[in-house]
Amino acid sequence: MQYQNNRFKMNLFVVKISICFLLFSTLAFGQQTLEYKLNIGDNLTVTQVALQEIVQNMNDSKHEMTNNLECDFNLIVTAKTDSSYLINFSFKRLKLKTTSNIYGELMNVDTNKEIKEGDVEAKMFAGLTNAVLKMEMLKTGKIVKITGTEAMIKKMVNETGIEDEFTKELMFEAVKKEYGSESLSRSFEQMTYCYPEKKVKLNDQWTNSFSGDLDATNIWTLKEISNNIILSAASDVSITSEEETHVMKLKGTQKTQVIANKTSGFPEFITVDSNTKGVTVMDQMKKVKIPTTIISKTTYKTKKHVQ
């Protein structure tokens, strides 16, 4: 009887150990390392489409501007380390149209079309598509640095045909604010930087942030991991734009959804919706604060080229 009782206790102990081991195995299996898993030679083309609507309320009138952007850029993985990838990055196409209900068409550039004589902006952006930059990206998607931007910007300025050195220098500094190494790194990071530094399981959350003209604190959630990795983010954002003619300060929210390839970790489709409100102070009206709203929707689609 004592023997049977001891045997029962032993079996119960084994059952407990087995259940604990099974539970631990399930938890361990449930946790995932989310990261980019790229190979040397991977060749990807990303198409970005953005619609941005800006409304400024001035007394009894509204100034409404719309920016329509289409852009294709190419990424080729050239090397990798234990923690990062080296990538050749190049713009292939840029189409930008800006309209105003007051001033009409402000800009209309399409690098796929023949450049008209005297179209300085079209010539400048054509230079953008003829440069190859070097990018280092961590496996989380955080951009360490982008090099080659100085040469690219010089080419953009030279493509305009402007000969006056002072004017060229002013143009160089203006373009550098948007396409310099730091600003381009932070801008591109808004598409790539979505993975955590720790293992996560379904419905886990983590936080990261972007900085630059757009500051964002993002709370990410792992929504699904089956055939694809599906992530969502809710963000608090602020926009600060300081130009020669005005200063704009806005705050608001942003929602992001990422559908990524489970094998490579690279996003195949991204949607970003943001809504920000604040004020614009014009240089000639420093005490007048113009209520300003920006609503934007951006999508990214990725196509992988088969080697």
What's the mean pLDDT when you consider all of the chain?
86
**Hey, what amino acid is at 98?**
T
- Indicate the pTM of the whole model: 0.85
pLDDT above 90 as % of the chain: 57
The pLDDT tens digits for 110-121 are 999 888 887 888
Question: Does residue 96 register a pLDDT over 80?
Answer: yes
Residue 306: pLDDT band (50, 70, 90) is: low
Buried b (16+ CB within 10 A) or exposed e, 147-169: ebbeebbeebbebbebeeeeeee
Least confident of 21-25, 62-66, 93-97, 166-170: 21-25
Mean pLDDT: which of 5-14, 109-118, 191-200, 234-243 is highest? 191-200
How much is the average pLDDT of 202-226?
A: 91
The Cα 181–Cα 173 span in angstroms is: 13
Question: What's the pLDDT at 160?
Answer: 86
Q: Parse the chain into domains and list their residue ranges.
A: 1-30, 31-304
Angle between helices 120-128 and 149-159 (to 10 degrees): 150
Q: What kind of architecture, by CATH, is found in domain 31-304?
A: Roll (2.30)
The pLDDT tens digits for 23-70 are 443 343 467 889 999 999 999 999 999 999 999 998 788 999 999 999
The pLDDT tens digits for 278-295 are 999 887 776 788 999 999
